[in-house]
Amino acid sequence: MYPEFLPDPNPLYRNALREKLERIDMLARRTRIAIPEFYVGSILAVTYSEPHAPGKVNKFVGICIERNGSGLRSSFLLRNIVDNQGIEVCYELYDPAIQKIDCLRLEKRLDSHLRYLRDAPAKYSTFPFDLEPEFLPEGASVPVNDIKVPLNGLPWLEKWERQELKGIIIKGVTFSKKRNAKTKISAKPWEKYDLMKIYRETIPEEEQNEIFNEVYTKLHEIEITKRRLKHKRTFIRPQKTG
Amino acid sequence: MLEGKPPRCIHIYNKVGVGYIGDRILVAICGEKKKGILVGLKQVQAPKVPKFDTNNLVLIDDNGTPLGTRIQVPIPHILRTKMKEKTHSKGADYTKLIAIASRFI
């Protein structure tokens, strides 16, 4: 639920003290702003202060296609199509300029990233800016959207056929003989059995428990105050007229 | 430009040689040389700056006045500040480019 609390597994970037300080800062930020639970494939609305806009506030709605980074540097990438123009905006999760993050539709997809939507028809990444938030019943698990996205013809931005993606349909695309041969060479079907590789790329469970135990009580408190505030009436600043 | 041969960049008027948002460039379009302003880029952008699926350009004349009358694609908000910085009282005037934009993102 909180993947950004886990540090980067690469031992070159590990530093216990820095990680601890970052966690304190993240919790401090979370007391100020409600960061909802979301996954790759969820639809988010981000309201942030934009010094370049006339009203100094801007809002962007889009599907989360990628989550990157860990700790204070964690970020997510939103994609939408506005006026037939694909637009992607990267936001940092703990950016102090962000005023509000709303999860309009909470769901998961079959893949760990949805960058292939760049090469898919426009309807798969078009979301209206006035989308109503959908609420799941309390205690329900996060639904998995098992939609399969057909891709456009070549050329593509990445070699999707090599990435073992579950959420795409490659149909009506003919690869050259050379490309097929290279796909066969670069395939690594044994990698999912490589325990050492999995160990190197993830934080061990004992360490995860240690980190989550540290932050859990604080996060729980934040959750309770958030729920209490939801029932309270919010103060709406009266508009200046005349 | 939705149909026809896409314009081709032949020069960028900055000192880096890489065109960034708000830079003036020279393009070959319909057999002519025209100047334009980059208003949307495909390259990876800084946080909170939109990245577009295509490279977008608004054609201008030497004074900075756009040749067309409408911009159909969304324009990033940051371009307002960028173009304001580049506008000088006796040089190019880019305020018209911002004025004809239909939607900011």
B6-37 pLDDT, tens per residue? 899 999 999 998 999 999 999 999 889 999 99
Cβ-nearest to A88 among B50, B74, B80 = B50
Q: Parallel, antiparallel, or unpaired for β A149-150 and A168-169?
A: parallel
How is domain B8-99 classified at the CATH fold level?
Answer: Ribosomal Protein L14 (2.40.150)
SS3 helix, strand, coil % of chain B, rounded to 5?
15, 30, 55
Domains and CATH numbers, chain A: 3-130+140-231 (2.30.30.790)
Kindly list the domain boundaries of chain B, sorted by start residue: 8-99
Residue A87 and residue B54: Cβ atoms within 8 Å?
Answer: no
Check: CB of residue A107 under 8 Å from CB of residue A145. yes
Check: CB of residue A80 under 8 Å from CB of residue A63. yes
Instruction: List, in order, residues 6 or more apart from A203 with CB less than 8 Å away.
Output: A6, A7, A9, A211
- Residue B56: closest C-alpha in chain A: A85
Check: CB of residue A203 under 8 Å from CB of residue A6. yes
Assess: ipTM above 0.95.
no
Cβ-nearest to B78 among A48, A52, A88 = A52
| DSSP for residue A139 | T
Helix pair angle (A205-231, A16-32), 10° resolution: 10
| DSSP for residue A87 | E
Residues 49-108 of A with CB under 8 A from B: 50-53, 58, 60, 75, 82-83, 85-92, 95, 97
pLDDT of residue A99: 92
CA B29 and chain centroid, separation: 15
pLDDT category, A234, cuts 50, 70, 90?
A: low
**Residues paired with residue A49 on neighbouring β-strands, in sequence order:** A57
Sign of CA dihedral B51, B54, B55, B60: negative
pLDDT of residue A215: 85
From the list A76, A91, A79, the residue with the least C-alpha distance to A127 is A79
Write b or e for each residue in A220-239: b if 16 or more Cβ atoms lie within 10 A of its Cβ, otherwise e: eebeeeeeeeeeeeeeeeee
| DSSP for residue A211 | H
Which tens digit of pLDDT belongs to each residue from A82-129?
A: 988 999 999 999 999 999 999 999 999 999 999 999 999 999 999 999
The Cα B9–Cα B23 span in angstroms is 12
Q: Tell me which of A59, A83, A117 to substitute to probe the interface with B (most B C-beta atoms closer than 10 Å).
A: A83
The Cα B61–Cα A54 span in angstroms is 27
CA distances in angstroms from A93 to A69, A80, A100, A213, listed in the order given: 10, 18, 11, 22
pLDDT of residue A229: 74
CA atoms within a 13 Å half-sphere pointing along the CA-CB vector of A242:
1
Cβ-nearest to A75 among B40, B47, B54 = B47
Sign of CA dihedral B75, B79, B84, B87: negative
Which residues in chain A are contacts of B45 at CB distance < 8 A? 90
Start-to-end CA distance of chain A, whole Å, equals 48
Which tens digit of pLDDT belongs to each residue from A43-97?
A: 999 999 999 988 889 999 999 999 999 999 999 999 999 988 999 999 999 999 9
Instruction: List, in order, residues 6 or more apart from A9 with CB less than 8 Å away.
Output: A200, A201, A202, A203
Bigger pLDDT: A241 vs A57: A57
